[in-house]
Amino acid sequence: MWKQLDVERWNARRKGSLSDVMAPVREIVEKVRSSGDAALYELTERFDKVKLDRLRVTDAEVQEAYSSVSPALVDALRAAEANIRAFHQLQRPADMWLRDIAPGLSVGVKTTPLRRIGAYVPGGRAAYPSTVLMCAVPAMVAGVREIIMCTPPPVNPLTLVAADIAGVHEIYKVGGAQAIAAMALGTDTIAPVQKIVGPGNVYVTAAKMMLRDEADIDFPAGPSEIAILADESAEPSFIAADILAQAEHDPNAACILVTTDQVLANKVGRELERQLARSDRQDVLTRSLDNIGYALATDLPSAAEVINMIAPEHLSIQVSDPLAVLSGIQNAGSIFVGRYAAVACGDYASGTNHVLPTAGYASTYSGLDVMHFMKRSSVQVIKRDGLEAIGDTVEMLAKAEGLTAHARSVNIRRQKR
């Protein structure tokens, strides 16, 4: 199970390829495009083995879900929602700002929330009420007026309660690539959205990439990943626990320890065997073992270089001086600093978002945040003295580009008294 990895080969295998599923996903997308709701009913019965009589979850179903969830769990969801909301409120920019940069010339930015967005919440192997909160709460903080959610049936009551707490406006019992197609293209029942966010399997990710011209997306977010950067001071049982916590998400989860200490690596391997033997979800964990292992680095700067090459979804830093190592990290979706910063805290209740880029996309994408649900317009307020201040520059550059009408549009204002 526990082995030293060739990092480049492990990295390439973890990235995988969407090309293998593009053909069936395209077929699903075209079926939804041509047949709308009828395709959703058919595909749900085929893939989820559920025969639906309606696509949209009713208000009565949401209220009934509360009777199936303990008050303690409802309180836990509300506590998590409060922390997630508090963190994302710190990100929200001013609706508009203006700054004077010269007499008569003010510039700024007007920020506007999107009107309608779609959140995809996985189902199947487990319920993910936490993902509901992570997708919907920042959209609410941003000011999105219509938040819809698609999730595979049968929908877990916890998921419905989380959606109600988070403020989701419409919930649909649709999963997989067909859900992405429905949100992007629209059907008689599901109106199209401007943007789709949320994690999913390779089919969901492929559909998001395929339909990004129809609706914007957050980023590719596939099976869970963790990289742990550790030295001899780390606690092996903590590392093993973090690895298994991410591995239980999905058989394709990818987990790697990057360490400067072979002795620590050996201890983690023994600890993994002990903890695995008493873990639940054995079916998922045993299938993910091929994606688990460790890599040795000569020193901490070299270990940081390995992390930057991997660009993991989650990074745990468990070294004697973690803040010193943090400064050398450039590519990671969410970073957990110190031995007590369990990655599971970020999955649920620290307030940071757990919808993160995977498969190396953390090198170019940021995790889900408030700005994913907003768009910016630049603003300029120009008075006569401001026009005079920049008029010569504008006219000269416009003429140099051969755009004389541009120059004239400025000159005519300068001549008019």
Positions marked active-site: 313-314
Q: Alpha-carbon distance 352 to 374, whole Å? A: 18
Q: Alpha-carbon distance 276 to 265, whole Å? A: 16
Bridge partners, 254 (sequence order): 225
Q: Alpha-carbon distance 413 to 417, whole Å? A: 8
The CB density around residue 267, as the number of other CB atoms within 10 Å, is 18
The CB density around residue 52, as the number of other CB atoms within 10 Å, is 16
- The sign of the CA dihedral 57, 220, 183, 88 is positive
Bridge partners, 146 (sequence order): 116
> By the 8 A CB rule, do 116 and 191 touch?
yes
DSSP one-letter code for 4? B
> By the 8 A CB rule, do 356 and 221 touch?
yes
DSSP one-letter code for 222? -
Go through the chain and tell me how many residues it has: 417
